[in-house]
Chain A
């Protein structure tokens, strides 16, 4: 089992031009805990939509790599979007599933993955090009390489400990975060 903060910090080390979209709740806090970044887009609503935001961005910016970092609850709510992504085969998109089998933001109730429902198996069925499961922190080095250079769509299934780390809250102003992201991602090319 991985510590979510340590795993996300190692995954996003030296991230360069990587564009990052975060799912609402704890994954947003995990990413922001690594330091706020203009190439982060934090989602604060529309639970279940994170993977599709990644797809829209990946199709609009085939010149850049995109990482969606989100939780099992968000992915379960939008599970059909894994099929939509698999059908479209975006080469530059990775989905990172932080799976603790629980809904962290609402009091740690168990999710479907706690009963053995396998998100990695779902991604394989949905024709993701590479599907990786990570449960040891030392494996993060290799996973990070694939995130930056592997052929997508990539699904990284990270088994994390079910804990509730302190909330590190970024801006909740959707318009400001959007504008900052658009300007920063246009500039870096």
Chain B
């Protein structure tokens, strides 16, 4: 974590998650989510779970919901592909889920192997029953994450917020 990253959009996401009483956060580590992951790890009211694959995430969220808690997942766009069949259990059981995805392979990515999955991430999520919102600019983060929380936790829906690679690349503290 870089010291100069303390007031950026990851902090806004964290603030909104706290405001919505999210108490479990599952993730597979990712550069774009590094600051948010660190904030969750430091918070005694949030149980952070580092997973071996993103496919473990939907089970975690279902379990948290059965226990009366709100959960969110953090992953990179490639992780969406890793999780497809597991993601479908959330719609089957009307489990509220906020999924925050850092995009790869869409804007000035140095690795062309990321492009194929990046290009199918949003349509894959829609096919799994998720509502999808895209964030292109840092000033939209709070509003869109808030809407995502309201739709997910207020209505038992599955919502994915896709953080554009341009947003991630142009911000401090994440690359």
The answer to whether A binds B is: yes
Residue B92 CB within 8 A of the other chain: yes
Q: Is B59 an interface residue (CB 8 A)?
A: yes
Q: Are B63 and A54 in contact (CB under 8 A)?
A: yes
Q: Which of B68-111 contact A (CB under 8 A)?
A: 68-69, 71, 85-86, 88-89, 92-95
Tell whether B62 is near chain A: CB-to-CB under 8 Å: yes
Q: Are B56 and A44 in contact (CB under 8 A)?
A: no
Cross-chain contact B56 with A182 (CB below 8 angstroms): no
Q: Does B174 contact A (CB under 8 A)?
A: no
Q: Mark A35-54, 1 if CB is under 8 A from B, else 0.
A: 00000010111111111111
Known: A56-B71, A60-B64, A61-B68. A46 touches B86 (CB 8 A): yes
In contact, A56 and B64 (Cβ under 8 angstroms): yes
Known interface pairs A46-B88, A174-B89; A53-B67 also in contact (CB < 8 Å)? no
Binary contact track B37-53/A, C-beta < 8 Å → 1, others 0: 00000000001011111
> A43-B89, A55-B49, A56-B24 given as contacts; is B67 within 8 A of A84 (CB)?
no
* Cα distance A52–B87 in the bound complex, in angstroms: 13
Whose C-beta in chain B lies nearest to the C-beta of A88? B49
| Whole-angstrom CA separation of A119 from B162 in the bound complex | 37
5 new A-B contacts at CB < 8 Å, known A45-B89, A174-B93? A46-B58, A49-B56, A49-B58, A88-B49, A174-B92
